Amino acid sequence: MKSSESEEPIYNTMPSEEELIKLLHTHHEKNDPRSHFYVRTHVIPEVNWLNAIGKVTLSLCISLLVSLVFFYSSRTFIPAYASMSVPLVFVASMFFIVLIRAKALLVWIIRIYQRFAPLRIRDKCRFEPSCSMYMIQAIEKYGAIKGLSLGVQRLRRCNITGGGYDYP
């Protein structure tokens, strides 16, 4: 390669230290979530504890009912093992109910985080929507497993060098 005489060496075009500091502090705008000057509007949801307690109680009652039905229906067939299998059926039915309600359970846990996490922690997110809102949107759009996976990947990307607008 032939170099022309009109090209300046690269070290002559480098900004000074003062110019670099100015670029770092003025580069980001107020509407850029990566900026320290960005003002985030936080969603602080109300947590309906009575509704949550009611759903947990209903789940426990359904699991207990399934266990008792299993106990009384299997007593004639396997009398020796029927009393030992009641706790297993109870746990299995609770697990099944949790699987069915996984989306709602995960969203409820995230909303508890949004309600009680200090704003100084929630302000550190460099993305818009925030990581917690992103995870709720991903869970509602893709389901519990894929949404949770996308949300965890997003949390791993959220740092001081990353950020911006990112939607599931």
Average confidence (pLDDT) per 10 residues, the chain, 168 residues: 52 66 59 66 80 85 81 62 66 82 90 88 81 92 93 85 76
Contact (Cβ atoms closer than 8 angstroms) between residue 124 and residue 111: no
What local confidence, expressed as pLDDT, does residue 86 receive? 67
Backbone angles phi, psi at 143, to 5 degrees: 100, 175
Contact (Cβ atoms closer than 8 angstroms) between residue 62 and residue 93: yes
Backbone angles phi, psi at 59, to 5 degrees: -65, -45
How many CB atoms within 10 Å of residue 116? 9
What local confidence, expressed as pLDDT, does residue 140 receive? 92
What local confidence, expressed as pLDDT, does residue 45 receive? 82
Which tokens belong to 20? 């670099």
